[in-house]
Amino acid sequence: MRAVAVILEALQHLILPCPRPLKRLGVLHGLIALQNRARRCARAWAPHLAAARSIAVAGMEGVSGRELAVVCGSGLLHDVPLAELAARFERVVLIDLFHMPAARRAARRFPNVEMLAHDLSGVLEGLTGVDLPEPKAAIPFGGQADFVLSANCLSQIPLAAMDAVAGRFPEDVVEEWGRRLIAAHLDALRACSGVKVLVTDVEQQQVVAATEAVEDTADLLLGLPEPLLADRQEWWWDLAPAPEAFRTSSLRHRVVAGRVVAGRVV
């Protein structure tokens, strides 16, 4: 069964018309894996997706302007309240590195929704130089937006870039750079106009499925302190309940969400 899934993912990877550099960086592979895992784990993911969508809806209710909403890391639109956004704003811009066919089909239902393929780190085109490129994280249309949603992409933003340079630079240098890529997205969010809502995973735990005893943890913000958020909420996302990733262990992510407020990380 697992082998069939792997073959199907490889076929999708071959067939989907995605720019070659993104395929090489593993971006398409990540999106295909996300789509398939979301389907397999639909029941486990449901509370997380509902919480993420509802905090975005609550955030947009406090917005006075109605012209423009921007979504960063729109991906497969699992945690994005697209119908509510399209009903409330005259124009909705969905930003991701690549938009999968399912997301394109969903967006086509709304004439005021557009998709923008854009690298929110600003480094992916400059990875072959002798130095690590500086982040260029400004959010397109962020200065005019009435509402900006960063939809569970913060911890993902450095990953493809860090993988691509691994081995060419010392590990601690790559990690520090990854931390700066995360911080740059937070700074870019703070610089946007209007109301900004952040949904992000911040910690991974591997737990024994039977007892929930914690076996391993990982800091998904690479040591960066959690951002300061108003109306903050926190929950666990059952990302990969056993046997999805491990036969007897489960992976879960701690997610924090809320309105981004002025001031750097606490």
Ligand X SMILES: C[S@@+](CC[C@H](N)C(=O)[O-])C[C@H]1O[C@@H](n2cnc3c(N)ncnc32)[C@H](O)[C@@H]1O
Binding site for ligand X (CB under 6 A): 27, 31, 34, 73-80, 96-97, 119-121, 151-153, 156-157
Task: Identify which of residues 36 and 208 has a Cβ nearer to ligand X in the complex.
Answer: 36
Minimum distance of ligand X from residue 175's CB (angstroms): 17
Task: Identify which of residues 84 and 208 has a Cβ nearer to ligand X in the complex.
Answer: 84
Minimum distance of ligand X from residue 149's CB (angstroms): 9
Minimum distance of ligand X from residue 109's CB (angstroms): 16
Task: Identify which of residues 18 and 229 has a Cβ nearer to ligand X in the complex.
Answer: 18
* Parallel/antiparallel/unpaired status of strands 195-208 and 214-219: antiparallel
Minimum distance of ligand X from residue 80's CB (angstroms): 5
Minimum distance of ligand X from residue 77's CB (angstroms): 5
Minimum distance of ligand X from residue 160's CB (angstroms): 6
Task: Identify which of residues 119 and 146 has a Cβ nearer to ligand X in the complex.
Answer: 119
Task: Identify which of residues 204 and 247 has a Cβ nearer to ligand X in the complex.
Answer: 204
DSSP sequence for 22-40: HHHTTHHHHHHHHHHHHHH
Minimum distance of ligand X from residue 27's CB (angstroms): 6
**Nearest partner of 238 among 253, 221, 223, judged by Cα:** 253
Task: Identify which of residues 33 and 208 has a Cβ nearer to ligand X in the complex.
Answer: 33
SS3 at position 57 = helix
Give the position of tokens 């509902």: 50
Alpha-carbon dihedral sign for residues 152, 117, 190, 69: negative
* Residue whose C-beta lies closest to ligand X: 75
Q: Which residues of 177-211 are buried (b: 16+ CB within 10 A; e: fewer)?
A: bbbbbbbbbbebbbebebbbbbbbbbbbbbbeeee
**Environment class of residue 88 by beta-carbon count within 10 Å: exposed (0-12), middle (13-18) or buried (19+)?**
middle
Spatial separation of the C-alpha atoms in residues 25 and 28, rounded to whole Å: 8
Q: Which residues contact 7 (CB under 8 A, 6 or more apart)?
A: none
Dihedral, CA of residue 43, residue 48, residue 51 and residue 54, to nearest 10: -70
For residue 134, what are its two tokens?
């500086």
**Nearest partner of 150 among 199, 84, 201, 203, judged by Cα:** 199
Task: Identify which of residues 195 and 239 has a Cβ nearer to ligand X in the complex.
Answer: 239
